[in-house]
Structure 1
Amino acid sequence: MKKNMRKDILITGFALFAVFFGSGNLIFPPQVGLLSGQYVPAAMAGLALTGILFPMMAVAAVGNTGYDLKDMMRHVTPWWHYFYMGIGLLAVIFGTIPRCGGVAYESGLEGIFGSMPSYVRIGFLLLFFAVSYYFAMNKSSVIDKIGNYLTPLLLVSLVAVIILAIVHPIDRLGEGEITSGTEAFVNAFLTGYNTGDVGTGIICAGIFIEAFRNKGYTERKEYKKAMFGIIAVGFALLFVVYGGLAYLGAQGTKIYPADVDTTFLLTDLVRRMAGYGGSVVLSLAVIFACLTTAVGMIATTGEWVEGWTKGKLSYKLAALLITAAIFFVSSTGVSNVLAISGPLFTVLFPMSVVMTFLGLLKKYVPNDGAWKGSVFMAALMSVFDALNVAHASGLLKADISGVMERVYKIPLAKEGFAWLIPTIIGFAVGALWGNFADKDKSSRR
């Protein structure tokens, strides 16, 4: 083991945690805890699987197939990574990072100082994205900057809230809306799944892998061992933080209704527990959580654009242009523009889940035909769900009820898994097709 390997693993693992832990990740664990009440341990098991383990598996899947998305997606078709990255870039610019800026202002700065004039919002967003670009502009050091500087600030804020929840609880754990451990597990399992963090793992894996390889860990065996350590650190930190926030939420079963606004739930829990000082700490945690996610996404998409243009557009310039576009979208505050990200992520997510399992089980996948069949079917079926999301948000005016009625006849479709059965069929058909294609090639030689 290299002299500084443990330190490098720790710093990169810290960064992995920070990029995954965005603003939304602060909000949903308390809600899971509120609904689960005394069954919060079972809920944490479900959350640990889909909300933590699956995203970590996505990073491992990319590492198991190569070093970046291009290596993973060549099994589908040489151009597939352009399609995936293109949708991902649009979703980042029109959704993920603008929301980070908006939440950092509304739940962060205004959480400390209260409502302020609109020009303050513009000034804050300008500073927020300028700082984001500063941390992201040097590709070779972005992970070290996040791990060394931003993550400790985020963790201190979060750990302070969690310690208070343990030593100064608001109330005993009561009965939530959920009445059994099994139900609590299933609810948390589906909640973690719906966060879409598996997509974040696929999208951002490359920057972590490249950062670690740039430190000299290029030997495959050593690199895989290091990646396991990085993922273990990220998993442990997310588990502790999610568990602490879910436990905090479970203390509010006698105070809040089940349908309470999730943002209000967290802020009011902390206010009841620790007063204004606790609210300030929580607001700082929100700002740092949003900032780390923004930095990671800007770095990732900047690297993509540099690769697409074969270096004609440098990483720094690409990251700057992306940051400027994000600032513009965020400062306008136009809700229908940000709503574009919903359908885009709906298209990306099933593909991401499928590629995660294919990447992890690569040596058991019979041929590239199986990749093609399963990924193509996941992408096709996700389009129907995306149209439904677009219709629900008002972006799509056409009546699609007839189409969705047919889609919902597929087993598990109403539960949000319309893609699952067609994907399994696509895997089997693709594997058979790939097998015949391979035999045909062999016979021609």
Structure 2
Amino acid sequence: MHKTKEIFINGFALFSMFFGAGNLILPPFLGKNAGDLWFWVTIGFFITAVFIPMIGILAHAKLQGTMYDFGKKVSPAFSLIYCFVVYAICITLPAPRTASVTHEMAIAPYFQQSSSLLTSTIYFGLVFLFVINRSKVLTILGKFLTPLIIVILLAIIFVGISTAPEIVINSTTLQHPFVDGVLEGYQTFDAIASIVVGGVLVISMNFNSNSTFEEKKEVIIKAGIIAGLGLLIIYTGLIYIGFLFSATFGENATRTAILNSLSYQTLGNIGSVFLSVLVALACFTTAVGIITGTADYFKGACNNSQKIFIVTAVIGCLLGVAMGQLNVGHIINIALPALMFIYPITIVLILLNVFPVKYASPLVFKIVIGVTFLFSIPDFLGFFIHNTSLTDIKTHLPLADKNLGWVLPAAISFILANVIQKRKDRLTPLNDS
């Protein structure tokens, strides 16, 4: 009974740390644009916003270390640089975005004179209070905040499905619905979040549990399944009602405007109040998870220094206040090139860490990550450089026109690297003799 309770608390806490700003505003927007192909968009979104993140939690259950352990088979230097880049992205983009969404959707509609600076300052002040009470984070999130988030979300979804207007089947406005779903899933930051908040879960369990490695592995895996099922249900519901109500939105409606409209149409005036509470809670729990995970990592890297933990938390919160002044759309645009660069590497690291060791040797890690890095460069540079040479390169790469030019090379290099490794293993005994 105690283990079941622990699994559900940790599962709910994981869900709340995953479910933030992007998770709320992106699915209805996708549903509206997907039209009659909303199902294919959902499948694409599921891959990068649910499946890969849950594999990330599975990798954490297997490693039970920190983010550093994800990349150490490539090299210690690579892992250090990777961790720094990921944490830098997290505290300068998705964490501040939670404050920006909270201001735009939960504060500004009711307090027009209130500035985003005031919102961000109070918001990250509260985040800091949660973070420094580190040992209680999972319990507070899992027991109290997550159930409220889920109840409000399910109310919007179920009322929306049962009261939807007569469906006007619009053709999709997306060129590649499945791929657009995959790429929009990048914007949730959930794959990156899995290796950040998964570390929070592992360290929290070490604080609060004397369980064995295998017992903790079981709890982490089952908590990840609960969080994943929750995300799948909510994402599918939000995409679907975005499709059902698509005819009621303006042609150029923004992501936040669509979510505001949905809450009003489903729950009336009280819906706007519920949505404000939902947005504030969902964004807040994600910000707590990001700042806590970042502070945990640097604390561990500096001989478990509590001073470093507090300094990192302060820096993360100050950056949140500063970047939180930007509007949501601007932060999303800034994030795109960074995501195109770091997401492929993150996905491949997650997958390699769940493969059996015999298929994921250090040599395999080095080759596959090197190839993934190389073939993700054109997608990254495409945001800054527009010339024929780069266009020619992308023309000759399968899936590059869909910003997935790294996928096939990564898969091929994984197979070839394993062939090389097996050949090397066969030759080693001969050389030794």
Write the letter of the residue equivalent to 2:112.
S
TM-score (ref. length: structure 2): 0.88
- The answer to whether residue 263 in structure 2 is matched with residue 234 in structure 1 is no
C-alpha distance 366-162 of structure 1, shift in aligned 2 (>3 A):
closer
Output the CA distance in 1 between the equivalents of 2:20 and 2:2: 29
The superposition leaves residues 106-127 of structure 1 with CA deviations (integer Å, 9 ceiling, x where unpaired) of: 112113x153243xx2222111
Q: What SS does the corresponding residue of 2:398 show, helix, strand or coil?
A: coil
297, 313, 318: which is aligned to 1:319?
313
Correspondence for 2:392: 405
Output the CA distance in 2 between the equivalents of 1:401 and 1:323: 42
The superposition leaves residues 292-329 of structure 1 with CA deviations (integer Å, 9 ceiling, x where unpaired) of: 11100000111122123333443233212321232233
C-alpha distance 4-368 of structure 1, shift in aligned 2 (>3 A):
same
Correspondence for 1:394: none
The superposition leaves residues 45-83 of structure 1 with CA deviations (integer Å, 9 ceiling, x where unpaired) of: 554343222211111123223432222322211222211
Q: Quick one: percent identity of the two aligned structures?
A: 25
C-alpha distance 229-258 of structure 1, shift in aligned 2 (>3 A):
farther
TM-score (ref. length: structure 1): 0.86
257, 262, 265: which is aligned to 2:258?
265
Write the letter of the residue equivalent to 1:86.
F
Q: Which runs of 5+ in 2 are unaligned?
A: none
Write the letter of the residue equivalent to 1:427.
F
The superposition leaves residues 85-108 of structure 1 with CA deviations (integer Å, 9 ceiling, x where unpaired) of: 111122123211111111110112
C-alpha distance 310-337 of structure 1, shift in aligned 2 (>3 A):
farther
Correspondence for 2:301: 308
Write the letter of the residue equivalent to 1:279.
S
Write the letter of the residue equivalent to 1:423.
A
Write the letter of the residue equivalent to 2:370.
F
Matched ranges for 1:167-182 at <5 A: 167=162, 169-178=163-172
Write the letter of the residue equivalent to 2:6.
D
369, 374, 387: which is aligned to 1:375?
369
Output the CA distance in 1 between the equivalents of 2:192 and 2:68: 15
Output the CA distance in 2 between the equivalents of 1:192 and 1:21: 12
CA shift, 1:131, in A, is 0.8
**Alignment root-mean-square deviation, CA:** 3.0
Q: What SS does the corresponding residue of 2:246 show, helix, strand or coil?
A: coil
CA contact (8 A) 1:66 1:72 kept: no
C-alpha distance 194-317 of structure 1, shift in aligned 2 (>3 A):
closer
C-alpha distance 38-338 of structure 1, shift in aligned 2 (>3 A):
closer
Aligned residues: 430
C-alpha distance 131-213 of structure 1, shift in aligned 2 (>3 A):
same
Q: What SS does the corresponding residue of 1:141 show, helix, strand or coil?
A: helix
Correspondence for 2:414: 427
- The answer to whether residue 133 in structure 2 is matched with residue 138 in structure 1 is yes
285, 289, 296: which is aligned to 1:296?
289
Output the CA distance in 2 between the equivalents of 1:186 and 1:173: 25
CA shift, 1:422, in A, is 2.3
6, 9, 12: which is aligned to 1:14?
12
- The answer to whether residue 203 in structure 2 is matched with residue 210 in structure 1 is yes
Output the CA distance in 1 between the equivalents of 2:330 and 2:41: 34
Output the CA distance in 1 between the equivalents of 2:268 and 2:282: 21
Correspondence for 2:355: 361
Output the CA distance in 2 between the equivalents of 1:117 and 1:212: 39
Matched ranges for 1:34-73 at <5 A: 34-37=32-35, 40=38, 43-73=41-71
Tell which deviates more after alignment, 62-71 or 10-19: 62-71
Output the CA distance in 2 between the equivalents of 1:331 and 1:35: 28
CA contact (8 A) 1:88 1:344 kept: no
Output the CA distance in 1 between the equivalents of 2:353 and 2:92: 28
Q: Which runs of 5+ in 1 are unaligned?
A: 392-397
CA shift, 1:340, in A, is 5.0
Correspondence for 1:416: 403
